[in-house]
Structure 1
Amino acid sequence: MSGNEFRFFLSCDINLPVTLSIEKLEGILPPIKSTNSETESATEERRAELYVECTLYIDGAPFGLPTRTRLESTGPPSCWNELITLSTKYRDLTVHSQLALTVWDVSCEKDEGLIGGATILLFNSKKQLKTGKQKLRLWRGKEADGSFPTTTPGKVPRHERGELERLEKLENKYERGQIQRVDWLDRLTIKAKERIKERESSKNGGSHLYLIVDFCSFEHRVVFQESGANFLLPSPLTSTNEIVIVWDPEVGKINPSEHKQLKLARSLTRGIIDRDLKPSSNERKSIQRILKYPPTRTLSGDERQLLWKFRFSLMSEKRALTKFLRCVEWSDVQEAKQALELMGKWVMIDVSDALELLSPVFESEEVRAYAVSVLERADDEELQCYLLQLVQALRFERSDKSRLSHFLVQRALRNIEFASFLRWYVAVELHDPAYAKRFYCTHEILEENMMKLAAGVNGDEDGFKLWQSLVRQTELTAQLCSIMRDVRNVRGNTQKKIEKLRQLLSGLLSELTYFEEPIRSPMAPNVLITGIVPSESSIFKSALHPLRLTFRTANGGSCKIIFKKGDDIRQDQLVIQMVSLMDRLLKLENLDLHLTPYKVLATGQDEGMLEFIPSRSLAQILSEHRSIISYLQKFHPDEHGPFGITATCLETFIKSCAGYSVITYILGIGDRHLDNLLLRDDGRLFHVDFGFILGRDPKPFPPPMKLCKEMVEAMGGAESQYYTRFKSYCCEAYNILRKSSNLILNLFHLMAGSNIPDIASDPEKGILKLQEKFRLDLDDEACIHFFQDLINESVSALFPQMVETIHRWAQYWR
């Protein structure tokens, strides 16, 4: 029996809300018959608009309000990949708790809108919480029944389970890394699985619908236990020879004898002796190894004891402070007092290490105040790179009016750009009920002090007008939301919606054409905008109908933005912030890879602005020009240059490809296809649409990085000198960013409490995935070979090319 049998959590001890991810719907929906009299007998392709309703039932009675996913209308298979957080906590569940999941279609008539439902118990027959992916068969035309026992069980009966279900379980293990990857064998297996899937589907006649859900996983299994129950009572033993699993309640608790030994070893009376202790050669090597650990690494008991023992000799090593503070037993008043005294005498640490001290690991107010004192040394430009995370760090403060909150407001009083972003970042978080009061206090303090801002920024500008220019940003976004609602209600094609938009801007809402007072642009507060140009404003052809608006600026110029409503762009905002930061880190090492960190600002949980960059997708370019080179020849022709284009343009293309290849690999950005890879006229390639990060990807077996064969062909092929230069830039950029791995990991650690989907689902796992991408176990030379192998693997990957072809056909038929 493995040791894991004795590691478990009790459900009554888990004070977390029940969470699950609604992934996708598999199967063929019944067709919708046309209502047009001329084509009454014809059948149209289904354009269903589906959502899933999730209701928790405890002992057969509904518990809490139903929760719904967003509408999904992209066609089969319908993929939501949406995290659902219920109001009920795990500790409140009973052994007969179950989820009722019903799929509805709003595109149908009321009597046809019910697709089907299924019910699943949260605990299995062994009273263990179900985790991971679950495949539920829907009962067509029936709403999920929450009674106990249910009439709509989602579990497929044993006699109906086939070879396909066994393969799907193995595929889940494969995706979790529990099965060794063998590239050539994997491709053969996938083809065989697809054939079996087609055979099973034809056998069933496509009559079954399946809903795929993914339950939250924990480090150890979760065993059901009622609150206040005595789980130590042994269960009655039978006379059979069965192996009885006994749950050990002492697992995970502190060993009293070890704790006593640790206290004796750390006896504060030895403090005088410790001052003169010097580590031996082997101890020094061990300490240096510990100091190189990433901030996510947990120190063992021996490692903590080693750092404590030589704490006085480490005071001149700035990297050692954060590791030392992790060793302190903060519940011991005397030990905590000595640690704080040493912290005050320690050599000053870097800003990146100060960010670590603001993470939830450190609860001491003195430690967090020390971190803020280090941040005070950073200039506004550097601080603005971390502002998004510093606002998130307010979640981990112990008081509403903390030192960090005061510091951010004081910086905002000196810089109008800083004030504008701080105000938006805080305003978006006000919707989080758990921390609303904390964010509101910061917002209130900022508002009270904004009248003082004029003296620090522009002595001639009235403070009230300065504050009003920021308040009117909120009014502007509210008006844009109202316009979007009116435009979406217009029946007809996109052109009619565009006409309605321009009519609104120049008619009923003509005050938007010329503002009474200039407004500071939310995305670039140093730019004053004076109105919208109706004739140059348009709507994108997509489900959400985002607006493309052209604003006049006070200096006579213009700026274009995209305004979205109905889409959470906070994840895009985080990714672009990381692209900007990495671009800055690379330029500090004199490596400019011509990245395009366009501006993104979330103005709400489902709305926001994006900077519009004139460009075309690679899908459009390849469709019209056949190759990237042909497209670049149109703008930068040169008979004597490489491939008929200027050397500068080709170099820009190669560098930008290298930069985004490295960044998208590190951040684990998924769902890459030719429609979200854009190319500017000057040769700069850049990525958009970051709905999947930290290794998540809707496509099976994605390559390590997005490097399609058309991009390699534009560099002259895999044997050309330009492709070799591309690989050289990749390796150089990768090693530069590895040097700042602690900074990037600390920033993501501060985002652990945010509601960004791909982080909120499993923060610890996501950060560990990010850490793995840096390969901190390798030196720079080994990393060059490692990354070159990654590039070769990505270029030669066959399966992603097949997926890309399927994606292009899907786009064509739309």
Structure 2
Amino acid sequence: MPPAMTNLMDLWAAHSQLSGEDLVTVDFLLPTGIYIQMDVPREATIQHIKLLLWKQAQSYPLFPSLGEMEGHMFECVNQAAVHEELEDETRRLCDVRPFWPMLKLVTRNCGRAERLLDSKIGVLIGKGLHELDALQDQEVKDFRSKMFRISEEKMQRVQLMTWSEWLQACFSPQLEPGGGATPVTDGVNDKQAEASLKVTMHFDQSQYIKACLQAKECPHLTLVQVSTVQAMFEKEISAIGAVVNRKSSNPPLPLPPKRRGPSVSQTVCVCVIQVRAGLFHGTELLCKPAVSSESSGRSEHVWNRTLEFDITVSDLPRMARLCFAVYAVMDKVKKQKSTKNSGKVHYPVAWVNTMVFDYKGQLKTGDIILHSWSSFPDELEEMLNPIGTIQTNPYTENTTALHIHLPDYNPHTILFPPFDKVRTRGKKFHIELKEIMERDPLSQLCENEKDLIWTLRYDCMENFPQSLPKLLLSVKWSKHEDMAQLQALLQIWPKLSPRDALELLDFNYPDQYVREYAVGCLRDMSDEELSQYLLQLVQVLRYEPYYDCALTRFLLNRAQCNRNIGHFLFWHLRSEMHMPAVAVQFSLILEAYCRGSIPHIEVLKKQVEALSKLKSVNELIKLGTIKNARSKTKEAMLTKEAMMTCLRQSGYTETLSDLHSPLNPSVLLSGINVEKCRYMDSKMKPLWIVYNNKLLGGDTLGIIFKNGDGTRGLDLTLTWCISMVLMMIHWNKMCLCRIVPYGCLATGDRSGLIEVVSSADTIANIQLTSSNVAAAAAFNKDALLNWLKEKNSGDALEKAIEEFTLSCAGYCVATYVLGIGDRHSDNIMVRSTGQLFHIDFGHILGNFKSKFGIKRERVPFILTHDFIHVIQQGKTGNTEKFGSFRNYCEQAYLILRRNGNLFITLFALMLTAGLPELTSVKDIQYLKDSLALGKTDDEALKQFRQKFDEALRESWTTKVNWMAHNVVKDNRS
């Protein structure tokens, strides 16, 4: 079966490229009711197609009633199955790629310039602005209105700048800080303070809980909106009704995965449904969760109960969130007569979160519909997911919907009080000075330690300001007095360094004032430093419950003032637009950026169009290889020829030439060297695109385009690259090690770009070239040194060996600390100048591969005897060189230990990024162990020396693995 194409136009495009056709039949619908079908060039612009249509329409009835051609524009149904207005008529038909070759001509409304800008922004960010217009969400409307006003004012200031002022503003290394947030301006009266928060869940009795009858499927719960909503102040309990769709009176329901229960063959299950709700501030549970009663086993399940929480409204923190979980309770009974092993299994079905206060600081009231999510992270406490998004699932058709009602406590709106009113309600405490111990970010605090830290909070401020995260974890967020004291303290707390302030953006610190304080500290970051942490800061946006927040404003301000930061902010956001939980939030930020950086739109638009072309080429290759799968030779010839023909077409040549590289916007990609382009022989057929570059003195530049290569694989590589850059910075200050960072950028759903490192080859190829027998190649210790001698001579060889030594030390320490797995001879490369570097980081944090239950990697890092042979310059007795290498490794390890908290923080900020091997704090524990945090430098160095000796002693196992890899590779070729 051929792979699924993006849409029918993709399939047609691939077919036309293989067959040499240049025309496509398009149906045109005119506003006069006339239907015209005609063939148009697939490379033609929308403007040219409209001109052809106008000439053709002259011979049809009612033509005079159309009026002027400029008064009309085309609409189509795009790939997302929504209407798109083709206001930008410079686009080509092959770039528009409608779902079906049909264009509708419509009368253009007034304000063409604004509509053209909206159209360009919609195409650029991958989400039509009419979709945002259609959202009935006041928060979205208010955010867009505010950003539109700010962007308009900014563009007016830009227009008044001279060229030198504009260049300095857009590309200067140091920028001015942005503004802060505006507090809410009302309070909570005493009567309201004594009220309890009540939640009532309301489900329609006419809906169904669909329980799968097959043991391998998961039970699916569907609950939708009630036909009549009861509006009450004091909550009477609404009925929750559902019917089980079943074939027998008591069918067995599916079990959760093996880790959560016994096999189906051993168990008979009876299922009931419950709902659990909890109030959280960050990951802290503010009070005991509330649980509904169990549903009965009859056809209808009805709950009549109010869910109440043991906390007063006045004690609710501003960022409190209400978390729900729907789960099945299965009575587990062994088939044997004995019932000693009877019990209950709780199987999560769906979860959803909402904020208690809205974006204006108003306490939410009334009926709310929450469409839930069905994917559960591992090891959730109480089956509630406070770290999850507060956005409801946009795919409402097949999702569980919770209908909740939040009571009205007062006829007037209840607003969270601003800082000045909160402060006056707090009590003053006498502080005794005591010593505070600092720990790494993963360390847990017991209650006694929290009490001590809170008691000595002023001592913390004066002597340990960097201990602010520990103080925040010690606050009783369910007590109004503690919150008041904390907010007052924040006003006088010394400013932290930007790197220390990053931790305060973690999910554990959701308080609005804390996050504004953290962003205030980030304003001291240079543009270079901000670029290093930009990926993490974009992921942190997921933790922000409201669109308009200090972090969003900070990132927009810095991005609109520096083109390089704006470039990567754009791509980090756009690459996640396919994810429903952040699609609206990220599209709003992208729209705001584009409106405030209008000159940048055309540059980014060119890149988006180029990537669309590369995706079409990739799909063409996949289609061609499947059609000719029976003959590999025929496949290679026909597909390579089709690829070349495609790249030489004017539409592709024009779009793919003279654009700024998405990997590095300072590099101008002048034109493709078609003869050197190829596709790689792996499942997803990545493209190897070679560019000529005038700015590089005629040298070529290679880029790998991947499409469909793993859900988050490129992001994993991205995370690695960021860490590598940080390590390089830390190590280069001491001139200890070399790291070869290469560009890597996720550009969309399962797609992205990787920079090709020039003049480099894999260890596997170097070994295989030196031996006629693949099995023996891995054991030829002279192969690598001889290869370097071929590439270098005299002083250049000595310099290359020094570069190899320093880079090998860097990657030994880096791969050990980060737990990089799957290290074979095809993902370790060497440049002709001597630098060793690693590629393809699919496994991190100690997630090493195994086969048949046997670990494939038994060493903490790769240090083979052929590496040591190079380091010792081919002289077995050259212990001095090896001693220097070992010392480089040890010093680099100690430097990383001193920055251990930073690395833990950066990985913690990526917890919601969707990386398969980074989903919980337990995954980050690997870093704490590898860096030996909590130990002295002497103890840590002793541990590393043991690992170093182990890597050296067990290096023969690496050679065996490489031998097997070389044999498999040789058999495939």
Structure 2, unaligned runs of 5 or more: 1-209, 221-244, 270-290, 297-302, 304-327, 347-380, 383-423, 629-633, 771-779
Letter of the 1:582 partner, please give it: M
Q: Any conservation in 2 of the 1:311–1:324 contact (CA below 8 Å)?
A: yes
Q: 2:454 aligns to what?
A: 308
Matched, 1:636 2:759: no
- Equivalent of 1:531, from 650, 665, 671? 671
Q: Any conservation in 2 of the 1:513–1:532 contact (CA below 8 Å)?
A: no
Q: Any conservation in 2 of the 1:401–1:442 contact (CA below 8 Å)?
A: no
Cα shift at 1:357: 0.9
Q: Any conservation in 2 of the 1:96–1:122 contact (CA below 8 Å)?
A: no
Q: 2:104 aligns to what?
A: none
Separation in 2 of the partners of 1:493 and 1:511?
Answer: 24
Matched, 1:130 2:286: no
Q: Deviations over 1:324-348 (max 9, x none)?
A: 1111112222211211211221121
Q: 2:611 aligns to what?
A: 477
Q: Any conservation in 1 of the 2:659–2:669 contact (CA below 8 Å)?
A: yes
Matched, 1:767 2:907: no
Matched, 1:787 2:932: no
- Equivalent of 1:576, from 721, 724, 742? 721
- Equivalent of 2:903, from 721, 744, 758? 744
Separation in 2 of the partners of 1:500 and 1:345?
Answer: 67
Separation in 2 of the partners of 1:788 and 1:64?
Answer: 49
Q: Any conservation in 1 of the 2:212–2:219 contact (CA below 8 Å)?
A: no
Q: 1:612 aligns to what?
A: 756
Q: How does 1:229-240 map to 2 (within 5 A)?
A: none
Q: 1:241 to 1:332 in 2, by over 3 A?
A: same
Cα shift at 1:694: 1.1
Q: Any conservation in 2 of the 1:321–1:349 contact (CA below 8 Å)?
A: no
Identity %: 27
Cα shift at 1:306: 1.0
Q: 1:531 to 1:338 in 2, by over 3 A?
A: same
Cα shift at 1:550: 1.9
- Equivalent of 1:602, from 736, 746, 749? 746
Q: Any conservation in 2 of the 1:57–1:97 contact (CA below 8 Å)?
A: yes
Q: Any conservation in 1 of the 2:577–2:748 contact (CA below 8 Å)?
A: no
Separation in 1 of the partners of 2:338 and 2:690?
Answer: 78
Cα shift at 1:748: 0.7
Q: 1:718 to 1:742 in 2, by over 3 A?
A: farther
Q: Any conservation in 1 of the 2:426–2:482 contact (CA below 8 Å)?
A: no
- Secondary structure (helix, strand or coil) at the match of 1:541 reads coil
Cα shift at 1:539: 2.2
Q: Any conservation in 2 of the 1:706–1:794 contact (CA below 8 Å)?
A: yes
Matched, 1:58 2:212: yes
Give the TM-score normalised by the residue count of structure 2. Answer: 0.54
Cα shift at 1:507: 3.0
Q: Deviations over 1:695-724 (max 9, x none)?
A: 112234321112222212222359722222
Q: 2:894 aligns to what?
A: 735
Q: Any conservation in 2 of the 1:428–1:602 contact (CA below 8 Å)?
A: yes
Separation in 2 of the partners of 1:95 and 1:790?
Answer: 55
Q: Any conservation in 2 of the 1:594–1:652 contact (CA below 8 Å)?
A: yes
- Alignment RMSD (CA, Å): 3.7
- Secondary structure (helix, strand or coil) at the match of 1:401 reads coil
Matched, 1:811 2:969: yes
Q: Any conservation in 2 of the 1:583–1:592 contact (CA below 8 Å)?
A: no
Q: 1:340 aligns to what?
A: 487
Q: 2:689 aligns to what?
A: 549
Cα shift at 1:725: 1.4
- Secondary structure (helix, strand or coil) at the match of 1:678 reads strand
Q: 1:522 aligns to what?
A: 662
Cα shift at 1:513: 7.5
Letter of the 1:501 partner, please give it: M
Q: Any conservation in 1 of the 2:560–2:597 contact (CA below 8 Å)?
A: yes
Separation in 1 of the partners of 2:791 and 2:908?
Answer: 44
Q: 2:443 aligns to what?
A: 297
Cα shift at 1:514: 6.9
Q: Any conservation in 1 of the 2:669–2:693 contact (CA below 8 Å)?
A: yes
- Secondary structure (helix, strand or coil) at the match of 1:523 reads coil
Give the TM-score normalised by the residue count of structure 1. Answer: 0.65
Q: 1:294 to 1:148 in 2, by over 3 A?
A: same
Cα shift at 1:382: 0.1
Structure 1, unaligned runs of 5 or more: 1-55, 67-91, 99-120, 138-146, 150-223, 254-267, 452-462
Q: Deviations over 1:339-392 (max 9, x none)?
A: 121122112112122111111111111111111111111011001101001000
Q: 1:152 aligns to what?
A: none
Q: 1:566 aligns to what?
A: 708
Cα shift at 1:471: 1.6
Separation in 1 of the partners of 2:608 and 2:470?
Answer: 43
Q: Any conservation in 1 of the 2:762–2:826 contact (CA below 8 Å)?
A: yes
Q: Larger deviation: 566-575 or 493-502?
A: 493-502
Separation in 1 of the partners of 2:764 and 2:663?
Answer: 29
Q: Deviations over 1:565-606 (max 9, x none)?
A: 12141111111111111111222x322522110000011121
- Secondary structure (helix, strand or coil) at the match of 1:655 reads helix
Letter of the 1:622 partner, please give it: Q
Q: How does 1:662-681 map to 2 (within 5 A)?
A: 662-681=813-832
**Higher Cα Rg, which structure:** 2
Letter of the 2:603 partner, please give it: S
Q: 1:514 to 1:496 in 2, by over 3 A?
A: same
Letter of the 1:669 partner, please give it: I
Q: Which runs of 4+ in 1 moved over 6 A?
A: 61-66, 92-95, 229-232, 240-247, 268-271
Q: Any conservation in 1 of the 2:788–2:797 contact (CA below 8 Å)?
A: no
Q: 2:647 aligns to what?
A: 505
Separation in 2 of the partners of 1:95 and 1:315?
Answer: 61
Separation in 1 of the partners of 2:941 and 2:474?
Answer: 35
Q: Deviations over 1:649-693 (max 9, x none)?
A: 211111101100111111111000111100000110000001111
Q: How does 1:654-693 map to 2 (within 5 A)?
A: 654-693=805-844
- Secondary structure (helix, strand or coil) at the match of 2:689 reads strand
Q: 2:312 aligns to what?
A: none
Q: 1:330 aligns to what?
A: 477
Separation in 2 of the partners of 1:335 and 1:245?
Answer: 45
Cα shift at 1:432: 1.5
Q: 1:710 aligns to what?
A: 866
Separation in 1 of the partners of 2:452 and 2:959?
Answer: 52
Separation in 1 of the partners of 2:866 and 2:646?
Answer: 43
Q: 1:434 to 1:241 in 2, by over 3 A?
A: closer
Q: 1:61 to 1:273 in 2, by over 3 A?
A: closer
Q: Any conservation in 1 of the 2:820–2:844 contact (CA below 8 Å)?
A: yes
Q: Any conservation in 1 of the 2:864–2:958 contact (CA below 8 Å)?
A: no
Matched, 1:360 2:500: no
Matched, 1:447 2:594: yes
Letter of the 2:740 partner, please give it: T
Q: Deviations over 1:510-554 (max 9, x none)?
A: 534874xx4221010122223222123222232322111122446
Cα shift at 1:470: 0.8
Q: 1:22 aligns to what?
A: none
Q: Any conservation in 1 of the 2:739–2:810 contact (CA below 8 Å)?
A: yes
Matched, 1:468 2:602: yes
- Secondary structure (helix, strand or coil) at the match of 1:357 reads helix
Q: How does 1:7-156 map to 2 (within 5 A)?
A: 58-60=212-214, 96-98=252-254, 121-122=255-256, 129-130=260-261
Larger RCO (CA under 8 A, 6+ residues apart): 2
Q: 1:738 to 1:226 in 2, by over 3 A?
A: farther
- Equivalent of 1:650, from 794, 801, 818? 801
Q: Any conservation in 1 of the 2:460–2:467 contact (CA below 8 Å)?
A: yes
Cα shift at 1:61: 8.8
Letter of the 2:646 partner, please give it: L
